[in-house]
Amino acid sequence: MATSLGVFIGSNRQTQVFAYGQGTLAYAAGTTVALWDPLSSQGVTTTLKRHTAPVTAVAFIGNTMVSAGEDNQVVLWQDHKVAKIVDIHRKSVTVLAVAEDHSFFISGATDKQMAVISPQGDVLQVIELPFYPLAIAITKVSADNYVIAVGGTKHNIYIYGGAVGSFAQLQQLPGHEDWVKCLSFRSSGPEEWVLASGSQDRYIRLWRLQVGNAVAADDDSQLVLLSNKQHKFTLGSGLDAAFTFDALLVGHDDWISGLQWHPTRPELLSASADTALMVWASDAESGIWVPRHRMGELSIKGASTATGSSGGFWGCLWLNDAQGERVLTSGKTGSLRMYQMLGDSDTFVPAPGVSGAIREVTSVKWSPQGDFVYATSLDQTTRLYASSNGRYREFGRPQIHGYDMVCLDNLSADGATFVSGGDEKVLRVFKMTSSMAKMLHNQCGIDGLSADLPTTAAVPVLGLSNKAETKAPSAEAEADDTNETQEDVLATLEHPPLEDILQKYTLFPELEKLYGHGYEISCVAVHPSYSLIASACKSNSLKHAAIRLFSGAPDYQLVPTPLSGHTLTVTSLAWNPSGTHLLATSRDRSFSLWKLIDAATAQFELVLHNQKAHTRIIWDGAWIDDTRFLTCSRDKSVKMWSVNSPETAVSSQSFAAPVTAIDTWQSTHFVAGLESGDISVGTVNDSALQVTTEIADSDTPAGRVNSVAFAPTPAAMVVAAGSADHSVRVWRL
């Protein structure tokens, strides 16, 4: 049996990727829909698997959740199970919108179509559009008539309306100067509504919709300008309606990505790519719309979507329930940020959200004591997860890099130092700060971290590498009350760090760069004594498929003679517990076994290069004990080998899919991660492997498992997995 201790997966970078219903926050995370209860401290509870491409939009209609994705499908969910799949679109679905009375919903896609769909999944109408839809808003204006506003890759807002099943285009609203990204309706009185529209032109426009008797008659004596022009149209049954431009909201510095009206008050929440979240309200005296609250971060000067920045916030949401008033947004790092109204102070303060990688997680590695786990990702980060109050949470972002990260390993007995590699062709060594160590002690009870740690990490002017700082702050800094140091911030935290702190204050200083590889790093493994570092890079030739060695601290020198023999990329490296042998697996379907003759001079002897070990690529290898090891392959098998006779496998276990990751625990158990996302746990004896546990499908990843690792703790079996579905997951077995 497996108990989930934590699921960490980032939100997709789209404008409509989260929705709140039935006490659950659902958000698009890779190809899955992640579920989170914002009122609990449990984090993500599960991920729903059905889509085969990234999910782009999520919505609730009654008791049904709806998701749409780049796989062209609209999926209806009930009780976490697929109720129906609507396969009407030919291209990626970009937007979902639900009627306020929940009588239907609309999906829009890049096939330039809108589909009107019932709550049961029946297609009621398909509407051809002259552009790609990015935003849709619906409001009911009479017993039988609805008004639908559609924005997208045109500058105008297109208005559709009528009865369900017979919607037609009725009007266009000019004014925006770029694509329209978000729309939201709100009732403002009898026969009156307000439509808010946000665009890439950085402006928010408010439009007043009037129907029936509220529509003003034309006055030929009045000068007609864009600001007071009535955009009239007629709905079914001869019902007159008109839109009038009402207000222009200026304050954001970049694309508007999200708009949501407050459920009960005339206040508008906006999110922007300038990393700001604002609450707008009309001034009581002047009637001018002004921002009452501003949350988020100050944007970097000159950084915008026009200059190639992918930052900022993507969408926004009000969360109002018994716990008070909160707002939610997602950012470029994949985190869901929440801000809560502080009592009666009319002030929003940051509140705990959820975080995770936004691209493939490539490697997970426990600290030598099993206190915390590192994870690298193709989203160019290395993250640290630790247990607090029985649940794992993200406590550090030790490396934020400019290249995709692929692998890492510990470089000290306490886990405070690690070496990582990625697409940069360079290995980098990092060391934890004393402020991080104090926070892990205070919140997670982790002791034994080295006392000889740098105080903080800083990036020098015109520098690219974060450097250690151990000296005390200057007198000027101490006198400046606003100069909050990393140590001050982390020492006073009473909960796991929020996203802004993770980015600013949990960085590890870099100690060394290790050069020697000609291509992107593929794997790294550190000797149990931390005296040698073995690494390999991507290759399709004998020359670059060599294993290169570096000495450990404090020299970190390249050993002149590499270990050669493989002809394609070495996929994994693993030392046996005593450090006498090094195992290498490769894409050339072979493994090599090397014996360390002299650690001081890094002399090795090739024990065997088994070129018939598997019939397909060998993805990973792991040691059971000093003399036995496992290899796993695309040929859907895990094989056990002995150092004493490595030519022939001792045992073999077959699986239903290619096996992509392997690890062992206490010489008695193994865990295997599959390309399908399944995870199997089994036992090891002298001559056989046997699968005993399959982690439930609802708890496993939706994509290839890239790395699995048992915590090296004899008291409990805890395993972590990093996967292509962007997730890091931790279980107790």
pLDDT one-digit tens code per residue, 7-28: 999 999 999 999 999 889 999 9
What is residue 305's predicted lDDT score, i.e. its pLDDT?
Answer: 55
What is residue 42's predicted lDDT score, i.e. its pLDDT?
Answer: 85
pLDDT over 90 (residue 547)? yes
What is residue 468's predicted lDDT score, i.e. its pLDDT?
Answer: 72
Residues contacting 373, CB < 8 A, separation 6+ = 364, 365, 366, 367, 384, 385, 386, 392, 709, 711, 720, 728, 730
Q: What does the pLDDT average to over 582-605?
A: 95
d(CA 167, CA 374) in angstroms, rounded, equals 53
Name the band, by pLDDT with cuts 50, 70 and 90, for residue 485: low
What the block records as the tokens of 250 is 């200026």
What the block records as the tokens of 386 is 């630790």
Q: What does the pLDDT average to over 563-582?
A: 96
Residues contacting 198, CB < 8 A, separation 6+ = 180, 181, 182, 183, 204, 256, 257, 258, 259, 270
pLDDT one-digit tens code per residue, 398-450: 999 889 999 999 999 999 999 999 999 999 999 999 999 999 999 999 998 87
- The answer to whether residues 256 and 270 touch, using CB atoms and an 8 Å cutoff, is yes
pLDDT one-digit tens code per residue, 330-352: 988 899 999 998 877 788 999 99
Q: How does the average pLDDT of the chain come out, rounded?
A: 91
Identify residue 449 by its one-letter amino acid code: L
pLDDT over 80 (residue 126)? yes
Identify residue 502 by its one-letter amino acid code: L
Name the band, by pLDDT with cuts 50, 70 and 90, for residue 227: low
pLDDT over 60 (residue 306)? no
Q: What does the pLDDT average to over 310-315?
A: 81
In the sheet that holds 603-610, the strands lie side by side as: 570-575, 581-586, 591-598, 603-610
Q: What does the pLDDT average to over 612-621?
A: 96
Name the band, by pLDDT with cuts 50, 70 and 90, for residue 472: very low
What is residue 503's predicted lDDT score, i.e. its pLDDT?
Answer: 87
- The answer to whether residues 359 and 378 touch, using CB atoms and an 8 Å cutoff, is yes
What is residue 308's predicted lDDT score, i.e. its pLDDT?
Answer: 47
pLDDT over 80 (residue 299)? no
pLDDT over 80 (residue 228)? no
pLDDT one-digit tens code per residue, 260-296: 999 999 999 999 999 999 999 998 888 899 999 999 8
Name the band, by pLDDT with cuts 50, 70 and 90, for residue 225: low
What is residue 471's predicted lDDT score, i.e. its pLDDT?
Answer: 52
The percent of residues in the chain predicted with pLDDT above 90, rounded, is: 78
What is residue 670's predicted lDDT score, i.e. its pLDDT?
Answer: 97
Residues contacting 492, CB < 8 A, separation 6+ = none
Q: What is the dihedral of CA 633, 635, 640, 644, to 10 degrees?
A: -90
d(CA 569, CA 558) in angstroms, rounded, equals 20
What is residue 236's predicted lDDT score, i.e. its pLDDT?
Answer: 83
pLDDT over 50 (residue 476)? no
pLDDT one-digit tens code per residue, 77-96: 999 999 999 999 999 999 99
d(CA 694, CA 700) in angstroms, rounded, equals 10
pLDDT over 70 (residue 607)? yes
- The answer to whether residues 203 and 180 touch, using CB atoms and an 8 Å cutoff, is no
pLDDT one-digit tens code per residue, 40-59: 878 999 999 999 999 999 99
Residue 490 belongs to what H/E stretch?
A: helix 486-491
What is residue 559's predicted lDDT score, i.e. its pLDDT?
Answer: 95
pLDDT over 90 (residue 312)? no
